[in-house]
Amino acid sequence: MMLGAPGAGKGTISTMLSEKYNIPHISTGDIFREEAKTNKELQEIMNSGKLVPDDVVNEIVKKRLQKEDCQNGYILDGFPRTIAQAEFLDNNNISFDSVVDLEVTEEEVIRRLGSRRVCTKCKAVYNITTHNPKQENVCDNCNETLIQREDDKPESIKHRLKVYLEKTAPLIEYYTKKGILKEVDANPSIQEVFELTLKVLE
């Protein structure tokens, strides 16, 4: 399970781990962004940086984890995000071996999210200061025009950080107590953070 503030690199590192270990990368954010294309209420919740209600998220994740491709393991990115979601997993005997906590400073989060650009088609993530596509504003994989996520705009970033500190950060203690939390300094480059993650996992 990948834990960390918005912009810590959960999605990027999860994608790299998913390729290395050949297990699915399950991002609740990606699931909801797809759903929000046709669901106005969900779109509003997400754009403002609020959380989707626990019972909605819990059922979606439970169903997803029952699929065949999760038999040999999975990487959870963005879930659980509240103590209630973590307790739901425990109560349903859904477990994981490790929780990787990507630790990043608030300044770095604000810098990264403000310059993040994403491909809505293949979900690739770029950064206009550190990881540019070959052609400006165009996805390297599928030639789609890149966009800035609505919730990566300054007002939403502030709210997401507040929500993270209030609702998600308590999970650090929750999983430390269970003895499965692994801390990784997520301030360096993507490659370095990936290597540090592999080190704590292996």
Q: Rule CB under 6 A: which residues touch ligand AMP?
A: 6, 28-29, 32, 45-46, 49-52, 57, 78-79, 81, 85, 151, 160
Cis status of the peptide bond prior to 80, with omega within 30 of 0: yes
What is the nearest approach in angstroms of ligand AMP to the Cβ of residue 202? 25
Q: Respond yes or no: is residue 10 known to be catalytic.
A: yes
- Among 40, 160, 167, 178, the one annotated catalytic: 160
Residues facing 25 on adjacent strands = 75
- Among 10, 33, 112, 117, the one annotated catalytic: 10
Sequence-distant (≥ 6) Cβ neighbours of residue 194 within 8 angstroms: 13, 16, 17
Q: Respond yes or no: is residue 116 known to be catalytic.
A: yes
Q: Respond yes or no: is residue 160 known to be catalytic.
A: yes
d(CA 112, CA 121): 21
- Among 33, 112, 117, 149, the one annotated catalytic: 149
C-beta of 112 vs 160, nearer to ligand AMP? 160
Q: Respond yes or no: is residue 158 known to be catalytic.
A: no
Q: Respond yes or no: is residue 81 known to be catalytic.
A: yes
Of 186, 200, 199, which is closest to residue 12 (Cα–Cα)?
186
What is the nearest approach in angstroms of ligand AMP to the Cβ of residue 145? 20
Query: Under a CB-based contact definition with an 8 Å cutoff, are residues 74 and 2 in contact?
Result: no
Active site residues: 10, 81, 116, 149, 160
